[in-house]
Amino acid sequence: MVPSKSDPILIVGAGVFGLSTALELKQRGYEDITVLDRYTPPAVDGSSVDISRIIRIDYADPVYCKMAREAYQGWTTEYKDQYFESGFALLSETPRNDWIEKSRNTVLEIGGKVEDLKDATQLLKSYPNIQAKLSGLSGYLNRLGGWADAAGSIQKLASKCSVEGISIVSGPRGTVVSLKKEGSRVVGVNLLSGGYLLASQIILSTGAWTNRLLDVAHAASSSGQPVGFIQLTTEEARSLDSTPVMINMSSGVFCFPPTPGSNILKLARHGYGYANEVTVQTDGSDRTISTPKFESSNAQTGFLPEDADEDLRAGLRQFFPKFANRPWINRRLCWYTDTPKGDFIIDQHPTLQGLFVATGGAGHGFKFLPVLGKYIADCFEDKASEELRKKWRLDAPVGGAGAMKGDGSRAGPPLRWLTNVEKAKL
């Protein structure tokens, strides 16, 4: 049952899922909303922060394609100061890539436009500053797309929440260590500070940390995806002006134009990533899961596995050969919340009353920031279409954990568990 609008609501997680939900619920008249997180947003190791995130409408799935087109309107209006329309090029090393083909057709079906690239060197006609080795690549260009300042967008969203009177609590009093239950009902959360908070409804928007609090191994798991940054001079950055976001759908490596002001160049890989084996205890039982660190920031050490570093370096040689040997100024693993088909999880818990789950960004949730809260709130209030409720349903566990391969857009090597030596360096 949907709680009264005067009942207290606790939202655990101050990323794009949690903050967008908080803002939308507040605007719908819910009076008592508190957001809890280990860190003040933008959280340093969240998946919806950093200097840049891709903004695109390109999806093989028509549901997300339409949602992304709707979100695009928000990026070009309400969040226009955080959005940079550079264009988005999807490229492949093979003559045919199923996901690119499906995405192209879906974009066209909703009235979008693409420019086919049978030979990716055609990009140079529109973007003469591209330095990438494009020979042998093909795909398409969508000029409607680019990237957003992720940390700046989350900061703006958090500020909107504060202005609306939403409490955002961080540090030990905002760090949730477990759910507080009475029978089959979740009545609150237990805090690292030693106390607890009670509420009529708990909303878990805890991303890659969700499995620490709740056994959803059948529906979601966490993987670390490599990200690297190099520093350019002002002159070097200007030499790359007016270049698009590009992704090699065969390797999963993608890149951004240099960030204005800082002149930092970023590369990352949208792949299957790395799993970090951790044993946690929930309701008195030990479980082995993949999850990022909880006690400290996952962005602190700058560690990447050697094979991840090599793959990013190969991407640097392909996209920016002039800077192929430039040292990284920072590297890290960005933690995804993977789901079997890349779908979000937005649903009331099937057996625990008072618990709503909004997670499963699967590496693509951030781009929906301007509209995500509306969709989550519709599910929370049981107003969403049956199609969406079914798509984002959290089913009860049946058997063990399944494969989390996503929506078919990932590439690169298969998921690999970190070794004990690598785990010690996280």
Q: Which domains does the chain have, with CATH numbers?
A: 8-424 (3.50.50.60)
Say if residues 421 and 303 touch (Cβ distance below 8 Å): no
Say if residues 36 and 8 touch (Cβ distance below 8 Å): no
Report residues of the chain scoring pLDDT below 50.
none
Q: What is the pTM of this model?
A: 0.97
pLDDT, position 400: 61
d(CA 190, CA 282) in angstroms, rounded, equals 13
d(CA 343, CA 219) in angstroms, rounded, equals 10
pLDDT, position 401: 63
- Rounded to the nearest 5 degrees, what angle is found at the Cα of 284, between the Cα atoms of 281 and 287? 35
Strands 201-204 and 355-359: parallel
pLDDT, position 1: 73
d(CA 293, CA 285) in angstroms, rounded, equals 20
Strand order in the sheet with 201-204: 167-169, 32-36, 8-12, 201-204, 355-359, 345-348
- Choose among 175, 184, 210, 92: nearest CA to 141: 92
d(CA 103, CA 342) in angstroms, rounded, equals 15
- Choose among 324, 307, 370, 372: nearest CA to 344: 372
- Choose among 270, 299, 247, 228: nearest CA to 362: 270
Pull the structure tokens for residue 308. Answer: 């991840």
pLDDT, position 402: 73
d(CA 238, CA 234) in angstroms, rounded, equals 6
Q: Taking each helix axis as running N to C, give the angle between helix 369-380 and helix 62-75, from 0 to 180 degrees, rounded to the nearest 10.
A: 120
DSSP 3-state assignment of 104? helix
Measured from the Cβ of residue 242, the count of other Cβ atoms closer than 10 Å reads 13
DSSP 3-state assignment of 372? helix
Q: What is the pLDDT of residues 115-169, one digit of tens each?
A: 999 999 999 999 999 999 999 999 999 999 999 999 999 999 999 999 999 999 9
